[in-house]
Structure 1
Amino acid sequence: MAKANQEIERKMAAVGPGDAPMSSLLANPNDWTEQMVVRHIVELGSGSDAESTSALGLYEQGTPSPNWLVQEGMGRIVESLSSGVRVVLNTRVSEIEQLSGGVKVVTSSGDIRALHCVVTVSTGVLRSEAIRFKLGLENATLSALDALPMGHFNKVVMEFDAPMQGFAPGDWLGAGKNFQPQKALAFLINPFSSNLVIALAGGAYGQQLSSMPAKDAENEAMSQLEDCLGTLRGRKLVRSITTDWSTNPLFNGGYAYLRTNGGDARKALAGGGTDRVHFAGEATAIDFAQTCGGAYLTGMNTAERIDAVL
């Protein structure tokens, strides 16, 4: 695995100036080590499919490290950042219009007028045209959105009656020689000394798990877990839950990925607004792309630019 990882990373570094899909880096599609490395980098790392993901973009994106789990949940971090800020929930935005000297945002709770508007919704929402931009978006912005579709990354979280034996808290488990490229899963075992096993799935398979009935998703994850372990050693499943990022209209996916030959789409989207309407969020991040941290940094940078002209 380590040797295959070094070889794939070498090939990623050698891509350019043209681009190539990540799947093209597989010298032998039947080599489970290479398949597992590529699928972990792409499907399980970026939520996309190796056949359509930019190798050049992933290489330039680099690693999101440090990328830590949060025992209380990532939502607690977001909540902590909102201290002192008025936050209104359950309010859908349907239209954004630039006016002379400001903007008008049409919402389900009435119109909001402001000097500037920062748009941080996912590219899945933007591509679905759930929000209308009154004056339209420029072709460069539309092209950037076309190059940055949403990847699919979902989890089946399973709670057992006791921790899995033989694992340290937070250990990772993979299928090894039984790895199925089209059904790539990775298991996080006993995080924070809990009784949880979390199955992570990305790309088309991640989207499939999110869309199927919860019991079917649970059965898929349990089947692969038992294949990996051979036996659960008497552990009993208590309950499970599957994330719905792919089917939730507020997201339409996990996070944005760069298509092959997508070029500087992230930068283009970041600069694709107007002097009053600005785009930010993880899809526009260069550092820590596809992370909450990257989204936060783009918001701070955008706010600082706005502040400089006020």
Structure 2
Amino acid sequence: MTEFDTIVIGAGMSGTTSARMLADAGQRVVVLEARDRIGGRMHSDRSAGFPVDRGASWIHGIDGSPLWELVQALAIPTWEYTVGSFQAGGRPIENFDGDGRPLDAAETAQWVSDVAAADAALAEEIAASSPGDTYLDVTERALDRSGFAPERIDEIREFFRHRVEEQCGAWIGDLDAHGLDEDAIDGDEVIFPRGYDELPRRIGAGLDIRLEHVVTAVSRSANGVTVSTAQGDFTAERVIVTVPLGVLKADRIAFDPALPDDVTGPIDRLGMGVFNKIFLQFPERFWNAESYVLRALGEAGEHWHSWYDVSAVSGIPTLLTFAAGPFGRRMQALPDEEVVADVVTALRRLYGDAVGEPVAHWITHWGDDAFSIGSYSHLALGSSHHDHDALAGPVDGVLHFAGEATWGDEPATVGAAYYSGHRAAERILGRPVDLAAFAAGITAREQQTAAG
């Protein structure tokens, strides 16, 4: 007899979700997590006395979102912060032109209008694109027909490039023309003042989660599956693999028998992007208190281009900026002090001597993280939206995959991780799992624990 009904590899959002649903259904479940914490790419660093979300930060669009419904059911506080999808307008943004000069209200309105016009043309070019076209190809075609002056085209070109970097962690020329098709935002976006990893930690509370258990091999046979770690082997009837796509692409887990082409094909074709965060705290605020974002356009924003005001989390003036795609890979190889100095130099080009020396900083290195090897998946040239869902399996009825890379509707999001974990649990149980009842079960357990 096997030790467990189901082994779940990974204690991130998808892993804790599937494990909790299966355990609630009466299954014997164990979660094997390589890290020394729950959450995976949801990593809220509280070492400074307040949360710094080194990993996921946003729910991108709360309208009709089951993830948002879970957050509300668990009474987790959120703050509206509707710019995480890299918008040109919609919220107060301090824009600067290619020379670092602030745009006035009329210029800002023109800029937002220009992006809207270019996006409309871009949608037409994407619809008319052919297999093999990159996102760079279709954006250039849209800009060619825009009729804008060269300097305006340059600014929108940079905007498109940076949007791909922030949304996908990839170079615009490596993204398929349809790579942002699923990037629709319905409703406001929100962030989490108590830290986003509150979600997987509360979902996972009380589960049998073995931390610092690095899985090296998964073997399947007529008798079930065996999962190997340095702490020993675990046997079960089936397994759910929720490790990030970067780990699968790097062959960090040996599968015996080898995975079929239906799964290895998507693993090979899909891309894994790099998206790193740089948080800087300053002694004083030098930007407008009402601004959501500070944004350098064109040449001034070639590298560092957008800074997000997240001061409300700590009560200390704090800006968050990003290094993504090839730029992110270069930056994560540098000492933190060099990165901070480079960001401050870029800010001083916009604000001059008003920019003080940072009093604290946090910098991520997701591309070097052994347990993710990147930040999130994207539609690389040659891949399709079908690849995301095909990656989920199952294989031989016993091997399932979950995680943001396995959900085609909105990959690269926490929502995708949540929904894919739900799907894996439903497939194993052979019946629907009601999400409202799932949330109610979490709160009921918490109340019982609090009552002693």
Deviations along 1:24-79, one digit per CA (max 9) or x if unpaired, are 11235862332233123200121111011012131145348654221222222221
Q: Name the residue aligned to 1:132.
A: 254
* Alpha-carbon contact 1:210-1:244 (below 8 Å) kept: yes
CA distance in 1, matches of 2:120, 2:274: 23
* Alpha-carbon contact 2:273-2:378 (below 8 Å) kept: yes
Which of 157, 161, 165 matches 1:43? Answer: 165
TM-score by length of 1: 0.90
Q: Name the residue aligned to 1:194.
A: 316
Structure 2 letter corresponding to 1:8: D
Q: Name the residue aligned to 1:173.
A: 294
Deviations along 1:131-150, one digit per CA (max 9) or x if unpaired, are 00010111232221122121
* Alpha-carbon contact 2:304-2:346 (below 8 Å) kept: no
CA distance in 1, matches of 2:337, 2:398: 47
Runs of 5+ consecutive residues of structure 2 not aligned to the other structure: 1-110, 145-149, 432-452
SS at match of 1:166: coil
Question: Is 1:94 the counterpart of 2:216 in the alignment?
Answer: yes
Number of residue pairs aligned between Structure 1 and Structure 2: 306
Give how far 1:261 is off.
2.8
For 1:223-262, what aligned pairs fall within 5 Å after superposition? 223-232=345-354, 235-262=356-383
Q: Name the residue aligned to 1:155.
A: 277
Identical-pair percentage = 24
Give how far 1:272 is off.
5.8
Which of 110, 114, 122 matches 2:236? Answer: 114
* Alpha-carbon contact 1:173-1:187 (below 8 Å) kept: yes
Which of 121, 126, 142 matches 2:264? Answer: 142
Q: Which runs of 4+ in 1 moved over 3 A?
A: 60-67, 177-181
The structure-2 alpha-carbon separation of the partners of 1:184 and 1:258, relative to structure 1 and needing over 3 Å to count, comes to: farther
Structure 2 letter corresponding to 1:191: S
Deviations along 1:110-139, one digit per CA (max 9) or x if unpaired, are 111112211111111011111000101112
CA distance in 1, matches of 2:403, 2:245: 9
The structure-2 alpha-carbon separation of the partners of 1:304 and 1:86, relative to structure 1 and needing over 3 Å to count, comes to: same
CA distance in 2, matches of 1:295, 1:112: 24
CA distance in 2, matches of 1:258, 1:282: 12
How large is the Cα RMSD of the aligned pairs?
2.2
Q: Which moved more, 1:29-38 or 1:137-146?
A: 29-38
Structure 1 letter corresponding to 2:361: S
Question: Is 1:18 the counterpart of 2:130 in the alignment?
Answer: yes
Deviations along 1:250-275, one digit per CA (max 9) or x if unpaired, are 11111011112312211221236331
Q: Which moved more, 1:221-230 or 1:255-264?
A: 221-230
CA distance in 1, matches of 2:255, 2:310: 46
CA distance in 1, matches of 2:186, 2:261: 30
The structure-2 alpha-carbon separation of the partners of 1:51 and 1:302, relative to structure 1 and needing over 3 Å to count, comes to: same
* Alpha-carbon contact 1:144-1:265 (below 8 Å) kept: yes
The structure-2 alpha-carbon separation of the partners of 1:230 and 1:38, relative to structure 1 and needing over 3 Å to count, comes to: same
CA distance in 2, matches of 1:136, 1:61: 33
TM-score by length of 2: 0.63
Structure 2 letter corresponding to 1:260: L
Runs of 5+ consecutive residues of structure 1 not aligned to the other structure: none
